[in-house]
Structure 1
Amino acid sequence: MGAGGVRVLLLSGPAQGGGGVEKLAGALGASGLEVLRAGSVREALSVVRSDAALGAALVGWDTTDTAMDGPAGTGEVLRAVGERFVRLPVFLLVTGSDVSGLPLWAYKLIQGCVWPLEDTPAFIAGRIARAVADYREAVLPPFFRALRHFDAGHEFSWHTPGHAGGVAFLKSPAGRALWDFYGEALFRTDLSISVGELGSPLDHTGRIGAAERNAARVFGAEQTLFVMNGNSASNRIVGHATAADGESVLVDRNCHKSIMHALTLSGAVPRYLVPQRNGLGLAGPIPPSALARAGDGGPAVSAVVTNSTYDGLCYDAVEVAGLLAPHVPRIHFDEAWFAHGAFHPLYARRFGMAVTPEVMDDELRPTVFATQSTHKLLAALSQAAMVHVRPAPRAPVNPARFNETYLMHGTTSPSYPVIASLDVAAAMMDGASGTFLLTEAITEAVRFRQTVVSVAEQIREDRDRPGWFFGVWQPDHVATRPVEDLVSDPAAWSLEPGAAWHGFTDLRSGYCMLDPIKVTITCPGVTADGAVQELGIPARIVAAYLEQRGIVVEKTGDYTLLVLFSLGTTKGKWGTLIDALVDFKDAHDAAAPVEELIPDLGLTGPLPDLCAAMHAALQAHGLGRLLDQVFTDLPTPEVTPRAAHTMLIHDDVEQVPLDRAHDRVAASLVVVTPPGIPMLLPGENIGRADGPALTYLRALQAIDQEFPAFAADIHGVHRDQGGAYHLDCLAFSDSAVTPVPDR
């Protein structure tokens, strides 16, 4: 990896001025390095904190400043480099006679010293260029480095894939367009498992195996496996490898549907751990008292806990492990949305791999699996995921046997670009770099949160305007505490018992916290405790307006919008969202016509009228109250998920309208978004005609029919031309089924 085109920061003070520095800058340019001249410490710090393309830094030092904290600011710049980069070559520009006054801490951050007038500019520039080249090679993680070297060999491809390095695409106009769009590098590195020198993800050998071992070190695991078909596959791997037919598994009811797929594959029988819900419809934590009683139903082989939740609630994983350990030998933390947990002090103890021998004795400590969707909030390509393993003596993990299940769910045609992105994602989070990147993301999220509140203050001061109606779901003190405190203090985000803002009960201090990078914007209509407000702005209408503005949120509830502050979030990005929210509010104040604001809906009339009508419908049907009942008053399982699936593939299934679905057994998952969590599982009795499930679905059906432009996103429900719902139900013919065992 050469040094050409790389930037070198140059900060020189008066003591290093003169022709020597200018000649050195010229020699660096002649070596192919772009020199960034910083005119001040402030400019230098800005470059260090924002420019990941830096290959080296030359920082002037006044040798009389033995503490390095004088006006030249050398120490401040060096410390900033240490916080941002790992092993970036830093050279001190020195004009004094020696470096005897250099503090010891500085030696850890510099690679050497440069006296511009003692050696020739060409020689010094050559040393720096060599250091830059070595650094750029060293920052590459194992697999990505090998992949680049292989690509540089320009070998002919005689193996799959058939596009042969992209050449096949050049033979077709459509193919050529694809080539031009993505570029040659993607196709040249889309390779077959036949390339032995790169290793194999199937037996974890070669550079791929080295990359997985490096990721295990970075993420704090004993073993890490790369998964190329998403965290859904990761969940199926762990679930299928840890439970067998008929065995009981404790399952967080606030789980992803892939957990249910694992139960179907393994034949295991779920016993549910039921989380709370608040008045906003947000899924809360499983109460600690429920975890302590988890063994009341008898022995179980493992437990599954969603950490963090879709809405950003993350547990003290060490405490959860301690509560569950008496009941299960294994815990699977589904951390699809929490791959960043290990890389910032704010999340200490909050992630699965924190359950180590140092915090829990081996006699009690369970084996822990953590499945992570690396691409969601870290930097990786879509479908990039990892499985992390920390075995315990109570439930050893045989790597070869675990790999057999991994192979069942993997592919023999893996995507090498996806593997490279996993390798690089781990490298990005290694050491100081990971903490820096997360601090930046958390900081932007906090500033956004505080800005939403400050807009309300500004509008309140303008007495001629109606009040601001958007809010943020967060502790009250977030609006006023210093940003630095909120970025560093976990207690600032804790769901403290009795705090009104979160709306949950049966908690204890520190048990659960809100991840600040998951921001839930609240719309007027209901409060966290379920109280109905007179003014209602349903979030589906706001989301439609934002989409018209080119802003797509992660999740839309009845009165909430979820946005994610990932590593890629910028000030410009969240500033644009603030602007759009202010514009929506202005449009509502002015009773602007819907057909002008959101023309794609095909609706007419003033915006406030549409909001008021939908708010009235939501409250008339009691949708929020019904949602809470659906996820706390659970249906009765009649047959196992595996048995229900057996009947499904034998076509012992019929579509039934809601008015005839009572007391029938569901044949497939019914997943309502929001919250994106299964409300009915295969094999569960749908319940009475006036029971929670059917009452809720009838309410959704009525609202969909009244407001078809805002129809709910429901998986497992079939709509006829009139918008009426139908469910897949088991027909119970002569097919053999397995009833759920008595528990």
Structure 2
Amino acid sequence: MSQSTVLIVAERATADRSVPAAKVEQVRAHLCGCGHDVVLVHSAGDAASVVGSDADIAAAVVSWELVAAVVRSGDGGVLRLLLDRFSARLPVFLLTTGEYDDEAPLWVSEVVNGWIWLLEDTPDFIAGRIDFAARQYLEHVLPPFFRELRRFDDTHAYSWHTPAHAGGVAFLKSPVGRAFHDYYGERLFRTDVSVSVGELGSLFEHTGPVGEAERNAARVFGADETCFVPHGTSTSNRMIVHSAVADDEVVLLDRNCHKAVNHGVVLTRARPVYLVPTRNGYGTTGPVPPARLTADAVRDRVARTPITEGAASPGPVYAVITNSTYDGLCYDAVRVAELLGVSTAVLHFDEAWFAYGRFNPLYARRYGMAVEGARGPTVFATHPSHKLLAALSQSAMIHVKSGGGVLFDRARFDQTYMMHGTTSPLYPMIASCDVAAGMMDGPAGRWLTTEAITEAIRFRQAAVRLGARLAAAGDRPPWFFGVWQPTEVTDPDTGERVAFERAPLDLLRTRPDCWTLEPGAPWHGFDGLEPGFCLLDPVKVTITCPGVDALGAVSDFGIPARVVTAYLETRRIVVEKTDVYTFLVLFSMGITKGKWGTLLDALTDFKNLHDRGAPLGEVLPDLVRAHPARYADLTLPELCREMHDSLAGSGVIALLNEAFTNPTPPVAAMTPAEAHQHFIRGRTELVGPADLADRVVATQVTTTPPGIPVLVPGERVGPADGPLPRYPRALEGFDRRFPGFAAETHGVHHEDGGYRITCVTG
């Protein structure tokens, strides 16, 4: 067992040689001898700091005389903080030199492990009790699979099975292998074992410690069933589609769905009907409005989609909604299930960016496993454990809650699960899924999510306040960065509207109505919403740059976001996503004040460089070295002005919005599967943007991040003056004019600086 911390909170001795102080020191010495790291503090404030920063605490000893008054007042003090940070399983002892306090609140007696009378028992006996409780806690705090994997590693068994590195030994026989072994350490290789190790259970059969871990995760995430998927959410999405949909059946797809869902549609030869989301002036994709999710709207959409004629199902057998969106827009999942559950028996929430939704009351009703009801659809939710929980990359989970439609058939699902899964899973990835669930269990999940929400709100408010300070100074150009969020919130005590940056922190982190998108509110720019239907997740922070607003108004002055994030990369700050005039940063559980403080400082430095007209070679030296003829003579403001004028002139945001806010998306000339058959049989050709009009695309065209398709196989691009042919022409022109700033677009071939898109021949 790794070293653990024991926290002792005791009053500071009034005399250097007091008997209680000496006894505490003797207990501390005994615990250190047992292998514990002991932290001794003398105030509740210092104890709170330790509890907030140290996750290794395995036991706590708290002086009752030091905390009694606060506990009796109802606050709970450090005792309540320990329970909220860890759980009621954490051994907590009350230390006293007086009498038993039979006036202590009942909850204290129910959660503490007992009282320690410092002057009656020996230090060795007291330390022994604490040590025993701490070791028991550490043994049971580990989730099922990780616990058994550690035990297996501790047996030091000889390996006569795959993988051939045999616990890492093979790497030691080669200089490059030795370097690899030393870099990652022996433990990784000792736990990279074969499925032949029966005592660890079977991922495919869901037995043994693996099965126990999946059942534990189902409990933690509120699911009926959970499967671990060590192949990422992309594979998880394909598994669900492939298990729920048969040939030629109709499916409902959020147009904002991940490309992996469309891959699943190709595999199943399904006939997709797209649910069209809203978009705002920034080009941000919003929710599918509730009016487009009703049974009448779905029937109308199916009837007006040409490829549904002759389908094997009269209506949709499956529907998928992206929740939350990449930009942090969370649906009322219960309301979505009420609407779509009338049209389909299987509802899939792709929650790639929302695995933590269940663990904070701010997100009540907004995650897939919140859906209840015997008459509702069977609900799937896909979670990449690695994205916004704590797990290794590619670690993912599928959660299921059976409804009153087609009940979840685990045996049937497992056939598809095995079809897509590997027979050689990486066991540390399975363990990281197990640990991700264990970390969110009990009060820890709320504590961890609240911390991330709190830091995100502090950053949001600090960014706005910085702008106000610069404006008040009056001696420099105004702050030009913004944060996409409500400008005001309502104080429930007074009913008054309060500026967001002045709102109490506790109000913003506990009241969902501070974050819901009110219908018609100009700050978000989306149409067709109903009250409470959509919420902006505080931890997904979109920073806005001047040039356009949420309603689409283009300004004369602009600073494209790509220039800003290119500068941030020179400061070793990498953002999650860059759009035309916005960029996204994620406040995950790994965030710190140092990280967001550094980001705010870097944005301030960028503004100063822009204000003084810094040469581009000073701001983006690598870019200038790579393209000296293009950029060497430019200043930062000159580049921003040129790029803004180009983007405004091409109307790239408006083109994309026009293509996808129209309730009628691009017309499907054939199913994605039929287009794919043309592709693998070589009946396709590469077509430039100038010749793209009315062609049928054969492969997905996807901008990444986030991996949302712009064009889907089988769709007809439309007339030459339409938005879809003009959009790739605008991107191509931008890339040629501004080398080094090209967006990553999958499905596009680049030849001599031009775009080529794969289309069906003829």
Q: Same fold (TM over 0.5)?
A: yes
Distance in 2 separating the partners of 1:674 and 1:338: 16
* Residue of structure 1 aligned with 2:645, choices 610, 616, 627: 616
Is this contact kept in 2: 1:69–1:76, CA < 8 A? no
Distance in 1 separating the partners of 2:114 and 2:201: 37
Which segment is superposed worse, 683-692 or 192-201? 683-692
Instruction: Find the counterpart in structure 2 of residue 627 from structure 1.
Output: 656
Q: Which amino acid aligns with 1:345?
A: P
CA pair 64-439 structure 1, distance change in 2 beyond 3 A: closer
In the TM superposition, residue 204 of structure 1 has moved relative to its aligned partner by: 0.6
Is this contact kept in 1: 2:20–2:119, CA < 8 A? no
Distance in 2 separating the partners of 1:580 and 1:29: 44
Distance in 2 separating the partners of 1:20 and 1:155: 44
Q: Which amino acid aligns with 2:325?
A: T
Is this contact kept in 2: 1:517–1:564, CA < 8 A? yes
CA pair 631-67 structure 1, distance change in 2 beyond 3 A: closer
Instruction: Find the counterpart in structure 1 of residue 749 from structure 2.
Output: 718
Distance in 2 separating the partners of 1:729 and 1:64: 72
Is residue 36 of structure 1 aligned with residue 39 of structure 2?
yes
Q: Percent identity?
A: 56
In the TM superposition, residue 674 of structure 1 has moved relative to its aligned partner by: 5.8
Instruction: Find the counterpart in structure 2 of residue 438 from structure 1.
Output: 449
Which segment is superposed worse, 614-623 or 110-119? 110-119
Is this contact kept in 2: 1:144–1:420, CA < 8 A? yes
In the TM superposition, residue 393 of structure 1 has moved relative to its aligned partner by: 2.7
Which segment is superposed worse, 477-486 or 36-45? 477-486
Instruction: Find the counterpart in structure 2 of residue 6 from structure 1.
Output: 4
Is this contact kept in 2: 1:352–1:370, CA < 8 A? yes
Distance in 1 separating the partners of 2:425 and 2:585: 31
CA pair 332-27 structure 1, distance change in 2 beyond 3 A: same
CA pair 627-673 structure 1, distance change in 2 beyond 3 A: farther
In the TM superposition, residue 17 of structure 1 has moved relative to its aligned partner by: 3.6
Once superposed, what is the RMSD of the aligned Cα atoms? 1.5
Q: How does 1:314-463 map to 2 (within 5 A)?
A: 314-357=330-373, 362-363=374-375, 365-463=376-474
Q: Which amino acid aligns with 1:121?
A: P
Is this contact kept in 2: 1:9–1:58, CA < 8 A? yes
In the TM superposition, residue 74 of structure 1 has moved relative to its aligned partner by: 9.8
Q: Which amino acid aligns with 1:19?
A: A
Is this contact kept in 1: 2:242–2:268, CA < 8 A? yes
Instruction: Find the counterpart in structure 2 of residue 537 from structure 1.
Output: 559
Instruction: Find the counterpart in structure 2 of residue 738 from structure 1.
Output: none
Q: Which amino acid aligns with 2:536?
A: L
* Residue of structure 2 aligned with 1:679, choices 686, 707, 710: 710
Which segment is superposed worse, 89-98 or 346-355? 89-98
Distance in 2 separating the partners of 1:675 and 1:171: 42
In the TM superposition, residue 193 of structure 1 has moved relative to its aligned partner by: 0.6
Is residue 502 of structure 1 aligned with residue 524 of structure 2?
yes
Is residue 519 of structure 1 aligned with residue 541 of structure 2?
yes
Per-residue CA deviation, residues 464-508 of structure 1 (Å, 9 max, x unaligned), is 110000000001123221111111111000000111100011111
Instruction: Find the counterpart in structure 2 of residue 80 from structure 1.
Output: 81
Q: Which amino acid aligns with 2:455?
A: E
SS at match of 1:726: strand
Q: How does 1:156-235 map to 2 (within 5 A)?
A: 156-235=158-237
Is this contact kept in 1: 2:380–2:398, CA < 8 A? yes
Is residue 551 of structure 1 aligned with residue 554 of structure 2?
no
Is this contact kept in 2: 1:545–1:584, CA < 8 A? yes
Per-residue CA deviation, residues 554-583 of structure 1 (Å, 9 max, x unaligned), is 000000010000000110011110010000
SS at match of 2:134: helix
Per-residue CA deviation, residues 121-146 of structure 1 (Å, 9 max, x unaligned), is 11111111111111111110000000
SS at match of 1:62: helix
CA pair 64-420 structure 1, distance change in 2 beyond 3 A: closer
In the TM superposition, residue 690 of structure 1 has moved relative to its aligned partner by: 1.4
SS at match of 1:703: helix
How many corresponding residue pairs? 722
Per-residue CA deviation, residues 212-239 of structure 1 (Å, 9 max, x unaligned), is 0000000000000000110000100011
Is residue 601 of structure 1 aligned with residue 623 of structure 2?
yes
Instruction: Find the counterpart in structure 1 of residue 477 from structure 2.
Output: 466
CA pair 64-170 structure 1, distance change in 2 beyond 3 A: closer
Distance in 1 separating the partners of 2:614 and 2:68: 64
Is residue 663 of structure 1 aligned with residue 674 of structure 2?
no
Distance in 2 separating the partners of 1:55 and 1:574: 30
Distance in 2 separating the partners of 1:229 and 1:64: 49
Instruction: Find the counterpart in structure 1 of residue 298 from structure 2.
Output: 294
SS at match of 2:740: helix
Is this contact kept in 2: 1:63–1:101, CA < 8 A? no
CA pair 93-692 structure 1, distance change in 2 beyond 3 A: same
SS at match of 1:108: helix
Distance in 2 separating the partners of 1:279 and 1:447: 26
Instruction: Find the counterpart in structure 2 of residue 114 from structure 1.
Output: 116
Distance in 1 separating the partners of 2:348 and 2:25: 59
Distance in 1 separating the partners of 2:82 and 2:246: 51
Distance in 1 separating the partners of 2:67 and 2:147: 43
Which structure 1 residue ranges, 5 or more long, are not aligned? 733-743
Is this contact kept in 2: 1:473–1:522, CA < 8 A? yes
In the TM superposition, residue 207 of structure 1 has moved relative to its aligned partner by: 0.2
Distance in 2 separating the partners of 1:558 and 1:191: 46
Instruction: Find the counterpart in structure 2 of residue 741 from structure 1.
Output: none
Instruction: Find the counterpart in structure 2 of residue 49 from structure 1.
Output: 52
SS at match of 1:68: helix
Is this contact kept in 1: 2:20–2:118, CA < 8 A? no
In the TM superposition, residue 75 of structure 1 has moved relative to its aligned partner by: 3.9
In the TM superposition, residue 22 of structure 1 has moved relative to its aligned partner by: 2.2
In the TM superposition, residue 726 of structure 1 has moved relative to its aligned partner by: 0.9
Distance in 2 separating the partners of 1:630 and 1:674: 19
SS at match of 1:421: helix
Distance in 1 separating the partners of 2:250 and 2:660: 21
Is this contact kept in 1: 2:344–2:377, CA < 8 A? yes
Is this contact kept in 2: 1:557–1:675, CA < 8 A? no
